[in-house]
């Protein structure tokens, strides 16, 4: 995705100029609600972030809502963007212009999220990013109709990097996914490490969907760093961890820090090789009874992995449909106003609020992977070590780089 950086920079500039200006359209307000799930259905992020489980979460939310909105059946469309911003943009444009989609969700992959958020906003269509992580979505690239729901690259290191540095992991080296997400995650993690008195020995960038991390791991090993920060996700993270174990990096005294880890990744790697690993999530299925009940129903309704991006999709779909009902229309301005005025208080986000910059501020959780003997079931993978209040996980609105807030 490195070749997209110039295009994305242009989109960001365009977005900064466009925010605050009236949209060309107020969406496809025809009284028929259509939801588009645009995600990675077959690639590196298709297991825990997107894929079949993402579509199942949205359809389950629609069914639980009653299957209808504004007196019409709610329609759910889905498509694979193949982790390519051009394919995602072409699909989004067709959905909006021909299929009359009202909201586009998921958008796993930050390059995709940035591109589709800008395109959709120019057409007056709401986007809800649940899979993309970059904090740019609600800062430099914010739009009037863009919502970032579930987590971002600022919130992740607040939990994980803070815990590691305070436990003695002072000197870091990063292996970073070479596109918008990885760059943002490394930047935000560096800030936390350095603020706590740590240092960064260096970094190296690896293309998305890398199979062989050997050269990157050798650079990290020779850096003398205490901690190798993996600023990547999905299959890239699991590949890097497996190969790090093969190189004897952890047994040699260095530790790995997965900056975006899902419980599906832990299950894939196995508890033997991940016991004690700490990572930050937006939700954990075993956190309370309400979450456990949702997880059981989700898995019974075609869900694949009870990860926080999938739970965020269910929650955000419900929040969107509640906003449509409150507004009495699918017109985007009215729905965006309604979804921002009502707290998000469900199994996923306790007392959450969608801020004026589009960011859902809610509690995050620091998890610690259990030892194999401590696990009682397939998804009994971790314990909640710390709840990070939303106002600590995310920066205050006064520090947002969103240009809309200046108007």
Per-residue pLDDT tens over the stretch 147-174: 999 999 999 999 999 999 999 999 999 9
pLDDT at 29: 85
Does 383 fall in a domain?
no
Report strand pairing: 68-69 vs 72-73: antiparallel
Confidence check: pLDDT of 21 > 80: no
Confidence check: pLDDT of 312 > 70: yes
Confidence check: pLDDT of 17 > 90: no
The whole-number average pLDDT for the span 89-94 is 98
The whole-number average pLDDT for the span 265-282 is 94
Does 381 fall in a domain?
no
Does 386 fall in a domain?
no
Confidence check: pLDDT of 25 > 50: no
Does 371 fall in a domain?
yes
User: Reduced to 3 states, what is the DSSP secondary structure of residue 221?
Assistant: helix
Question: Using an 8 Å Cβ cutoff, are 307 and 264 in contact?
Answer: yes
Clarify whether residues 322 and 198 are in a common domain: no
Report strand pairing: 227-231 vs 171-177: parallel
Give the containing element (helix H, strand E) for 60: helix 51-65
The whole-number average pLDDT for the span 165-188 is 96
Does 384 fall in a domain?
no
pLDDT at 140: 96
Clarify whether residues 143 and 6 are in a common domain: yes
Q: Within a 10 A sphere around the Cβ of 95, how many other Cβ atoms?
A: 23
Query: d(Cα 122, Cα 112) in Å, to the nearest integer?
Result: 16
Clarify whether residues 39 and 149 are in a common domain: yes
DSSP code for 96: I
pLDDT in tens, 321-335: 999 999 999 999 999
The residues pairing with 278 across neighbouring beta strands, listed in sequence order, are 368
Clarify whether residues 141 and 188 are in a common domain: no
Question: Which candidate, 153, 150, 119, places its Cα nearest to that of 136?
Answer: 153
Range in 1-10, 55-64, 168-177, 374-383 with the lowest mean pLDDT:
1-10
Query: d(Cα 259, Cα 257) in Å, to the nearest integer?
Result: 6
Confidence check: pLDDT of 116 > 50: yes
Does the global pTM surpass 0.85? yes
pLDDT at 407: 57
Clarify whether residues 178 and 274 are in a common domain: yes
Find the length of the chain: 407
Does 199 fall in a domain?
yes
Question: Using an 8 Å Cβ cutoff, are 75 and 34 in contact?
Answer: yes
Query: d(Cα 254, Cα 389) in Å, to the nearest integer?
Result: 30
Q: What's 252's domain CATH number?
A: 3.40.50.2300
Query: d(Cα 371, Cα 16) in Å, to the nearest integer?
Result: 47
C-alpha triplet 205, 178, 115: angle, nearest 5°? 170
pLDDT tier for residue 27 given thresholds of 50, 70 and 90: confident
pLDDT tier for residue 243 given thresholds of 50, 70 and 90: very high
363: tokens are 């509690």
pLDDT tier for residue 300 given thresholds of 50, 70 and 90: very high
pLDDT at 81: 98
6: tokens are 């110039």
Nearby residues of 192 by Cβ (< 8 Å), 6 or more positions away: 157, 158, 161, 162, 165
380: left (phi over 0), alpha (psi -120 to 50) or beta: beta
Task: Specify the number of domains making up the chain.
Answer: 2
Nearby residues of 239 by Cβ (< 8 Å), 6 or more positions away: 210, 211, 213
Clarify whether residues 199 and 313 are in a common domain: no
For the chain, what percentages of helix, strand and coil (3-state, to nearest 5) are there?
45, 20, 35
Clarify whether residues 234 and 139 are in a common domain: no
Clarify whether residues 17 and 134 are in a common domain: yes
pLDDT at 2: 34
Clarify whether residues 37 and 132 are in a common domain: yes
Does 222 fall in a domain?
yes
DSSP-derived secondary structure for 97-166: III--SEEEE--SHHHHHHHHHHHHHTT-EEEESS---GGGGTTT--TTEEE-S--TTHHHHHHHHHHHH
pLDDT at 171: 98
Clarify whether residues 122 and 243 are in a common domain: no
Clarify whether residues 262 and 164 are in a common domain: yes
Question: Residue with structure tokens 């212009």?
Answer: 97
User: Phi and psi for 278 in degrees, rounded to 5?
Assistant: -110, 140
Averaged confidence pLDDT in the chain: 92
Does 233 fall in a domain?
yes
Q: Please report, to the nearest 10 degrees, the dihedral formed by the alpha carbons of residues 360, 366, 371, 375 taken in order.
A: -40
Clarify whether residues 43 and 187 are in a common domain: no
Nearby residues of 232 by Cβ (< 8 Å), 6 or more positions away: 175, 176, 177, 182, 206, 240, 259, 260
**Residue-number span of the structural domain to which 24 is assigned:** 2-153+288-363+394-406
User: Reduced to 3 states, what is the DSSP secondary structure of residue 95?
Assistant: helix
């Amino acid at each position: 995705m490195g070749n997209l950086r110039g295009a994305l920079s242009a989109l960001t500039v365009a977005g900064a100029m466009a925010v605050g200006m009236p949209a060309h359209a107020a969406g496809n307000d025809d009284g028929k609600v259509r939801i588009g799930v645009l995600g990675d259905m077959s690639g590196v992020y298709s297991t825990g972030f997107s894929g079949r489980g993402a579509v199942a979460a949205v359809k389950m939310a629609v069914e639980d809502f009653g299957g209808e909105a504004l007196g019409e059946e709610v329609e759910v469309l889905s498509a694979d963007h193949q982790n390519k911003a051009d394919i995602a943009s072409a699909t989004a444009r067709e959905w909006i212009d021909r299929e009359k989609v009202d909201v586009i969700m998921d958008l796993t992959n930050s390059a995709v999220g940035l591109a589709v958020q800008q395109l959709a906003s120019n057409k007056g269509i709401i986007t809800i990013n649940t899979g993309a992580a970059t904090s740019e979505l609600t800062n430099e690239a914010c739009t009037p109709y863009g919502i970032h729901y579930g987590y971002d690259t600022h919130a992740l290191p607040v939990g994980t990097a803070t815990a590691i540095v305070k436990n003695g992991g002072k000197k870091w080296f990063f292996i970073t996914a070479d596109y918008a997400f990885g760059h943002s995650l490394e930047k935000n993690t560096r800030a936390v490490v350095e603020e706590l008195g740590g240092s960064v020995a260096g970094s190296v960038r690896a293309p998305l969907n890398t199979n062989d991390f050997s050269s990157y791991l050798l650079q990290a090993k020779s850096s003398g760093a205490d901690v190798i920060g993996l600023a990547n996700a999905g299959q890239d993270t699991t590949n890097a961890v497996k190969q790090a174990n093969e190189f004897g990096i952890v047994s040699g005294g260095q530790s790995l820090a997965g900056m975006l880890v899902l419980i599906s990744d832990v299950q894939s790697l196995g508890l033997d090789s991940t016991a004690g690993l700490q990572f930050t999530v937006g939700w954990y299925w075993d956190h309370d009874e309400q979450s456990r009940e949702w997880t059981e129903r989700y898995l019974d309704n075609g869900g694949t992995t009870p990860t926080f991006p999938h739970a965020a999709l269910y929650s955000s779909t419900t929040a969107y449909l509640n906003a449509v009902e409150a507004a009495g229309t699918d017109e985007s301005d009215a729905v965006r106003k309604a979804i921002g005025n009502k707290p998000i208080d469900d199994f996923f986000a306790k007392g959450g609020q969608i801020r004026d910059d589009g960011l859902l501020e809610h509690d995050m959780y620091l998890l610690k992977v259990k030892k194999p003997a401590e696990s009682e079931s397939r998804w009994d993978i971790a314990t909640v070590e710390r709840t990070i209040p939303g106002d600590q996980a995310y920066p205050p609105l006064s520090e947002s780089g969103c240009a809309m807030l200046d108007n």
